[in-house]
Amino acid sequence: MLAAGVISVLGAMVLALVRLFLGPSTYDRVLAVNMFGTKVILLIAIFGFLTGRPDFLDIALAYAMINFISTIAILKFAGYYKITEPMTRPPASSTIPARRPG
């Protein structure tokens, strides 16, 4: 049963990778990376129970937090171009044109 879960999660990861490489816009790719991270968390959790080591859940939790922060960092880089600016206000340099898709 758990092995079937591992296989289906691996299949979903392959689909996320396909979207990552094909994705027409930057945001599709960011979303694919974020989803891939979620699938990695699921895989770690299932794998932990498959091998009888629930300690793996700690690693999955840490991965979830790092995944959240890295997604915000990439989106901020794409939207603001500057890492110092607070996100409490819109980007100061709104004259920058949106990036080309792809």
> Based on CB atoms, which residue is closest to other proteins, 6 or 64?
64
CB 33 within 8 A of CB 39: no
User: Which residues neighbour 47 within 8 Å (Cβ) at sequence distance 6 or greater?
Assistant: 6, 56
Does position 15 bind other proteins by CB under 8 A? no
For the window 51-70, what string marks contact with other proteins as x by the rule CB under 8 A? ----xx-xx-xx--xx-xx-
> Based on CB atoms, which residue is closest to other proteins, 4 or 99?
99
CA-to-CA dists, residue 33 to 3, 21, 28, 40, 62, angstroms: 24, 10, 9, 10, 17
> Based on CB atoms, which residue is closest to other proteins, 3 or 98?
98
Instruction: Provide, rounded to whole angstroms, the least separation between the CB of residue 99 and other proteins.
Output: 7
Determine the size of the site formed for other proteins (CB under 8 A). 27
Tokens 């979830």 -> residue: 64
